[in-house]
Amino acid sequence: MSHFADINWLAVVLAAVASMALGMGWYSILGNQWMAALGKTREELMPEGKNSSMPFIIAGICQLVMAYFLLLLTRAIMDTSAADIQILDAVVVGAHMWFGFLMTGMILNHAYQGQKKSLTLIDGGYLLGVMIVQGVVIGLLA
């Protein structure tokens, strides 16, 4: 139970903000390739009159949850306190979470959905970046 105590919420929030910033850059650069891999147009994704901020709100909440659990799991796996988390520890735990859960789950879902491999690579690459960026922020601040 001690792993749930002493959460550095500033580290969690800044890790989430940093990964959102990464997403803005990632999809700004790869946006056209992502849309082509998805097989949709901008209009299909955001029909006129639809709340265009909702995906960003959901993403922000999900990023907060991911950062929180990355901090918790790094402390538990590395058997350390929040103050003793090292950058490399958090990045390694994040990379393992990406490979063991995020990427495998995405591959599974995309395979059943008949999605293009390029979509899996673009989204999976972003999520690896998320885990690395969040690991660095948590390692620096937690």
pLDDT at 45: 81
More confidently predicted of 10 and 47: 10
| Confidence at 6, pLDDT banded by 50, 70, 90 | confident
CB atoms within 10 A of CB 99: 13
Measured CA to CA, the distance from residue 3 to residue 126 in angstroms comes to 28
The pLDDT value recorded for residue 42 is 83
